[in-house]
Amino acid sequence: MLFAILLVYLALPLPFPLHTESDYSHHSTPWWEIYYGHKYLRPIRRPALGSGLKEQFDSANFDFDSRPLAEVRRVSLSATGDLMFRRDLAGPGGARLWDDVGSQLFGADLAIGNLEFAVNPKCVIEKTLRFSVPSEYALPLLGDPQCGRFHVLSLANNHINDSLSEGIASTCDFLDAQGIAFVGAARTKEEQNRVGIFERNGIRVAVLGYTFSTNNIPLAPGFEHGTNLVRFNALCDEDYEPALIHQHIARAKALGADYIVACNHFGIDLEHYPPPRLVKRSRDLIDAGVDLIIGHHPHVIGPVESRVAPDGRVGIICYSLGNLTARGLVFAVQRLSQIAHLELEVGLDSCGKRRVRPARFALTPVYHSQDKVAGQVNNRLLPLSLLDTHPEALSLAQRRTLRALRKRHDEVIGSPPGLEIR
């Protein structure tokens, strides 16, 4: 009987998500552990019952305004989801990590990622849900000498406080030493109030970062500024307070930002679709002045959508770009991610008014492959497009995996007008 129940548990996917605020670290009841365990085996593939979200996402339009502008200049942005550490990346196993995606990711004028751990050599923690690592584990994830590196990393995520305030400060120090900008974490209150502005080809891009949680590890008293904590996933609107984001939006505009990017660590673990309340809150942020939301945390990919704000701006929301590199996630769908590519253009419209607008938006689906050759794990980030361009470079097992992942990607993303898949 127990065996039969287990078979049903493993074989039957849950059709719709439950109404929950967060993920495994926030619950300890046996029922929640069963629910989470099932999602780990079979991520939930449908949005909330009756939400209509699938139809809304499928009808999103990425055919942007193409009316001619004078004196046009362009800037390219790229963004990834979670960068999770792996010990084997620090050795020969990470030598080819960036070979297939590095040039298009780091070739952008501004490359953005999310560092999903603390860098703290004085307090190394490698637990299932708690990560604090030495610098040699982090270095391979910053980029590649031949392909380039990230320009800015968001540190606002549920693991940045895993070794407390010492780990937050140490991670900031580490990136300072590497010459890579960071957002979403701060050593001082003054640093929290700063807004990162990156000027590229005459366009000033502001990058902000926020996290829904610190995994029930409170920020130390007096160090509440350590990361930008905003309860995006809260079940009740009364518990969701975006005032800090609005302050940063106002600050970015005061500093002359032309375009505002928010790296939001939010969403529900192992669910492809965001809950309706998160969709509403994300759209409200677009209306409030954010132009692009880069979402991560659920450990599976999510949909993307465009939204026309009341002032006429076209905002873009990526609800989850997934894990670019994965740790402790063994199933292929948990190692499927997306690299987002955005081309912005600035110029003068027919009235002589300066305009900054999105010109093209694309996604590159990527699989984190971990193949063993002569006992050595080789980590590679494989674009699904290799199935079409260089199938001979893939093993038979890799081709099968990438075909299955392409079906899942197409199911979640759909085919909104104007959206490019590379």
Question: What integer is the mean pLDDT of 279-303?
Answer: 98
| Residue 361 CA neighbour count, 13 Å, CB half | 26
Does residue 80 lie within any of the structural domains? yes
Q: What is the DSSP-derived secondary structure letter of residue 42? A: S
Do 36 and 132 belong to one domain? no
Q: Determine, yes or no, domain membership for 272.
A: yes
What's the sign of the alpha-carbon dihedral 167, 323, 415, 273? negative
Evaluate whether residue 48 is within a structural domain: no
Question: Over the stretch 107-129, which tens digit does the pLDDT of each residue have?
Answer: 999 999 999 999 999 999 998 88
Q: Are residue 34 and residue 96 in the same domain, yes or no?
A: no
User: What value does the mean pLDDT of the chain take?
Assistant: 93
Question: For residue 359, what is the domain's CATH number?
Answer: 3.60.21
The answer as to whether 355 is a domain residue is yes
Task: State phi, psi for 28 to the nearest 5 degrees.
Answer: -135, 10
Say if residue 181 is in the same domain as residue 249: yes
Residues 60 and 31 in one domain: no
CA angle 300, 304, 308 (to 5 degrees): 155
- What integer is the mean pLDDT of 290-317? 97
Q: Which domain holds residue 92?
A: 53-421
Say yes or no: 33 and 154 in one domain: no
Residue 412 binned pLDDT confidence (cut-offs 50, 70, 90): very high
278/145 same-domain check: yes
The 10s digit of each residue's pLDDT in 316-332 is 999 999 999 998 898 99
Could you give the number of structural domains in the chain?
A: 2
Q: What is the model's pLDDT at position 9? A: 56
Beta carbons within 8 Å of 374's beta carbon, 6+ residues apart: none
Place of tokens 């110029």: 347
User: From CA 286, how far away is CA 261, in angstroms rounded?
Assistant: 10
28 and 62, same structural domain?
no
Same-domain status, 35 and 82: no
Phi, psi of 159 (to 5 degrees): -115, -5
Mean pLDDT, residues 24-40 taken together: 75
pLDDT digits (tens, 9 = 90+) for 179-197: 999 999 999 999 999 999 9
Q: Report the range of poorest mean pLDDT among 26-35, 62-71, 335-344.
A: 26-35
In the chain the first and final C-alpha atoms are separated, in Å, by 48
For 123-182, the pLDDT digits (tens) are: 999 988 899 999 999 999 999 988 999 999 999 999 999 999 999 999 999 999 999 999
Q: What average pLDDT does this structure show over 206-221?
A: 96
Question: Are both 10 and 105 inside the same structural domain?
Answer: no
- Rounded distance, CA 21 to CA 39, Å? 15
Helices (H) and strands (E) in the chain, counts: 11, 20
pTM equals: 0.95
Output the furthest CA–CA distance in the chain (Å, rounded): 75
Nearest-CA neighbor of 113 among 361, 381, 340, 379? 340
Specify if 292 maps to a domain.
yes
46 domain residue, yes or no:
no
Tell me if 202 is assigned to some domain: yes
Q: Is residue 248 part of a domain?
A: yes
The reply to whether 37 and 62 lie within a common domain is no
Shared domain check, 206 and 78: yes
Same domain, 9 and 142: no
Q: In this structure, what token pair is assigned to residue 239?
A: 């518990």
